[in-house]
Structure 1
Amino acid sequence: MTSAQRLDAHTPQTAPQAPAMGRAARRKAHSSRKRSLAARYLGYVGYFVGAGLISGAVVHHPLDPDRYTRIAGYGALVFLAATVLNEFLLTRERPGPARMLVVIGSSLLLSFGIGMLSGGLQHFDDFPDRGAVLVPAGIVVSFIAYVIKDADTPWQRVFSLLGLTVLAVAALAFFGLREVAASIQTAPGGGHSHGAAEEPAADDQAPATSPSIAATPAPATSAPPRPATPAPAHNDGHSH
């Protein structure tokens, strides 16, 4: 073996150095990270804003159905927009069309499940009977929607031991909250009515004086009759 071959054999092979990043490339990467941060923030906030709108609409729906139906629709659109941003635009592995439809449908179901759960808990004192139904229903709906939405979890896990545990918790919550709702309604001053007029105070319940009676003047006291004055005698020079 020649000396040149020995030198080649002992010379370590170094990895090729990556070309230095220029100023324009660094500025572009920094701008991309800032846009990604803003997009992640909007997607994160969209989940909570959408669920909050739905929770308020689900609880207050009987008060004004038209209004709160629109609010629930707006909340669902916000939640779906956040889902599209987080699951399809900011991810590196975009799912196919079939998986995309599953994610969108399960996200919509998840938004209503979270809305029922949070709204029922938040306004339980205001609507006890409605809250006793919304809370356990929200637990079941949100669990089923999350299992379907999670790509790493088969949908059969809905019927697993964990699913049965969630169902048992929802049943206990239903019967327990029914008892609490009954105790709230039987208690004096229980419940709360949105938009109801306040009861007048005890002092304000006294009957008011009728305007016609108050405006009628009191009859004047009649003066006693004056004695009649005798007429003067008539003297015309004739004797009667």
Structure 2
Amino acid sequence: MTSTQLLDARTPEPTSISPAEGRAARRTRLARKRSLAARYLGYVGYFVGAGLISGAVVHHPLDPDRYTRIAAYGAFVFLAATILNEFILTRERPGLPRMLVVIGASLTLSFGIGMLSGGLQHFDDFPARGAVLVPAGLLVSFIAYVIKGADTPTRRIFSLVGLAVLATAALAFFGLREVAASMENTPGGGHSHGTAEEPAADDHAPTTPSAPAASTPSASPTTKPTPKTPAHNDGHAH
């Protein structure tokens, strides 16, 4: 190529960004910044909802009305986080049938996680209950997670992973039941947050009034020498 051809050759002009494309990019960056708070709330909502449900599932026998409300609050928080993460912040929104499946599976998943975490956390307080909640929560959470996943076919529930989860849950049930039985046979085992100590405090409560009653007869002989004081006063009258 001659020098004339090199001079006449046109250099490629840099690709310029149109104003419309620049505004679209700015809107995308702004939307990402705004979605940070929403993604944070959705992330925290999963853990807060599961935590409320776990405490309510374990402590439900102590106060059924109170812990039923707590479980309902936890389910509401978990579902709100699911709707925010799965349907509002996502780019592809599923149809109504799939949306109902995801909501139901998410609610089941929240209770499964709550049963698993609550049973492990409070196993020393409720051994017999924890021995049932841990394996049941493991199975429920696995099945709900498989159903919830859009790319996970439901036949994977009966796959090798599903059989491994089932075997683990069975071993956990029989093993934890033996541990719970040994804890209940030992003295002082299986107390639930001090509730067992309250009757002991009530048994000692009636004994406190008996102490003054026993001291009242001893106080009566001290009043017998009082008749001597008039004789003393008569002999030494001023």
TM-score, normalised to structure 1's length?
0.79
Task: Report 1:123-138 matches (<5 A).
Answer: 123-138=122-137
Shift of 1:183: 1.3
The structure-2 alpha-carbon separation of the partners of 1:160 and 1:213, relative to structure 1 and needing over 3 Å to count, comes to: closer
Give the gaps of 5 or more residues in structure 1: 1-5, 224-240
Shift of 1:17: 1.8
Give the gaps of 5 or more residues in structure 2: 229-238
How many residues end up aligned between the 2 structures? 215
Paired position in structure 2 for 1:73: 72
Higher helix share: 2
TM-superposition CA deviations, 1:91-114 (whole Å, max 9, x none): 111111111011001000000000
TM-superposition CA deviations, 1:29-59 (whole Å, max 9, x none): 5542222110000000000000000000000
Paired position in structure 1 for 2:47: 48
Query: Larger radius of gyration, structure 1 or 2?
Result: 1
Paired position in structure 2 for 1:211: 212
The 2-side partners of 1:99 and 1:160 are apart by 23
The structure-2 alpha-carbon separation of the partners of 1:213 and 1:188, relative to structure 1 and needing over 3 Å to count, comes to: closer
1:102 and 2:101 matched: yes
TM-superposition CA deviations, 1:105-146 (whole Å, max 9, x none): 100000000000000000000000000000000000000000
The 2-side partners of 1:25 and 1:151 are apart by 30
Q: Which runs of 4+ in 1 moved over 3 A?
A: 10-16, 20-31, 197-200, 203-210
Paired position in structure 1 for 2:232: none
The 2-side partners of 1:148 and 1:12 are apart by 57
Shift of 1:194: 2.8
1:58 and 2:57 matched: yes
The 2-side partners of 1:90 and 1:18 are apart by 28
Shift of 1:19: 2.5
Shift of 1:210: 4.0
Paired position in structure 2 for 1:230: none
TM-score, normalised to structure 2's length?
0.79
1:159 and 2:158 matched: yes
Task: Report 1:215-234 matches (<5 A).
Answer: 215=216, 216-218=219-221, 220=224
* Seq. identity, %: 68
CA-based RMSD of the aligned residues comes to 3.0
Shift of 1:18: 1.2
The more displaced of 10-19 and 121-130 is 10-19
